[in-house]
Amino acid sequence: MKKGKLLPAERLIISIDASSKNEVISLCKKFSGKVSTIKIGLELIYSTGPAIVSTIRSFGYRVMLDAKLMDIPNTVSRASTAIANLDISALTIHTLGGRQMLVSAREAVEEQMKIKTIQKPLFFAVTILTSLDSGDLDSLGFRDGFLISVLGLSKIAVDSGMDGIICSPNEVEPVRKKLGSNFYIATPGIRLTGDETGDQKRINTPGQAISKGADFVIAGRSITTSVDIPGTIDMYLEEIDRSL
């Protein structure tokens, strides 16, 4: 996969955690076209329906659908093709579903897109959620800790032809060192210095994530709950730009 040069506005992905169409419209207006991509998840899709994708795209934004798909290969393949038909730009799928699931989903979407006039969405494989810490991993049976677990899952994702992975900003550098740069890395758990951590446990600043090799940083409530949303976006963009 050939990666193009990304501008700061393309590198910042804003996550919307909302349950109403009106709230989404209000936020899209407040973002003022300062970024390229909006990430939405299960809360919004289940609350408003898939038509919300078209609503967001009508403001000129791309859409990353954070579905974190994980099931048997056939189920995920069919779900992926259905989601791809919404004309999204990126889709998340969980690496823990295994190589066969990842490959089946990718191949099914590639085949579907051959007969469509829309571009295939980028597949981002989720490694370990940033809401988990070492104690959580240990209780789930991951005895090797974060780094080895994330590296192993990232290799499965890359070997399966995923366009990118999602990991915490703190694992970006070792992933790059081991697996190279021919894939995207998107990092949630991004906060400006002094922000509340919320339910994230493995966090860092946008500048640190980009300087360590991340392509995209994902920020949500730090921006969407700000009293000055455009100003906060500018702060993120300026820090990203300084780190390139």
Per residue in 176-187, pLDDT tens? Answer: 999 999 999 999
How far is 244 from 239, CA to CA, in rounded Å? Answer: 9
CATH code for the domain defined by 8-243: 3.20.20.70
Cα torsion 217, 218, 220, 224: sign: positive
Read off the DSSP letter of residue 78. H
Intervals of the chain under pLDDT 50: none
Active site residue 114: no
In 3-state terms, what secondary structure has residue 164? strand
Asked whether 94 and 68 are in contact (CB, 8 A), the reply is yes
How far is 32 from 48, CA to CA, in rounded Å? Answer: 23
Read off the DSSP letter of residue 97. G
Max distance between CA atoms of the chain, in angstroms, equals 49
Pairing of strands 12-16, 37-40: parallel
The pLDDT of residue 37 is 98
In 3-state terms, what secondary structure has residue 220? coil
**What is the pLDDT of the chain when averaged over all its residues?**
92
The pLDDT of residue 88 is 96
- The pair phi, psi for residue 68, each rounded to 5°, is 45, 50
How far is 176 from 72, CA to CA, in rounded Å? Answer: 29
In 3-state terms, what secondary structure has residue 2? coil
- Which residue out of 68, 114, 155, 177 is catalytically annotated? 68
The alpha carbon of 116 is separated from its chain's Cα centroid by a whole number of angstroms, namely 24
Contacts of 110 (CB under 8 A, 6+ apart): 120
